[in-house]
Amino acid sequence: MMQIFRFLLLLLSSQPLLAAPDWQRLTPELLAQAKAQNRLVLVDLSAEWCHFCAQMDRDTWPDPRVQATIARHYLAARIDDERQPALAEKYRHYGRPAFFVLDADGREIARKRGYLDGQFMHWMLEGIAAEAGL
């Protein structure tokens, strides 16, 4: 029994763990980069106290379909309530978690709030990118 446990532990520890997107700050430089790369900007509005934000960090963002879609069409920015209070204040009535998609000029073209599982997030991001002509 102990050998099986050790084997499973070795197997699991050798598997690469998928990480969250490369979250950046929402800045004019990020928008310029999106324009230069013909991408959209996915903005995740989250907070450390938010249960569903943490659940998405565990389940949604590491999803391989979500990772691939973001890598293909988006630059990812995260607004944290505690670290960027001025930006968080703009969307304070929208709840957490919340997601916005901006074009390269910073115009909001889509928004959604609440917990989204990996499959729904993948579908949503692919649909928005298709609508934007990407």
Any idea which of 42-51, 89-98, 105-114 has the lowest mean pLDDT? 89-98
Under the banding of pLDDT at 50, 70 and 90, the label for residue 71 is very high
* Mean pLDDT over each residue of the chain, to the nearest integer: 84
* Terminal-to-terminal C-alpha distance of the chain: 52
Under the banding of pLDDT at 50, 70 and 90, the label for residue 84 is confident
Task: For the chain, give every domain's residue range.
Answer: 20-131
User: What mean pLDDT do residues 104-118 have?
Assistant: 92
Q: What percent of the chain is helix, strand and coil (3-state, nearest 5)?
A: 50, 20, 30
User: What mean pLDDT do residues 35-64 have?
Assistant: 93
Q: Which residue has the higher pLDDT, 48 or 14?
A: 48
The structure's pTM equals 0.80
Give helix 64-73 / helix 118-131 axis angle, nearest 10°.
20
| 20-131: CATH architecture | 3-Layer(aba) Sandwich (3.40)
Q: What is the structure's pLDDT at 80?
A: 80
Q: What is the structure's pLDDT at 81?
A: 74
- Lookup: tokens for 38: 């013909």
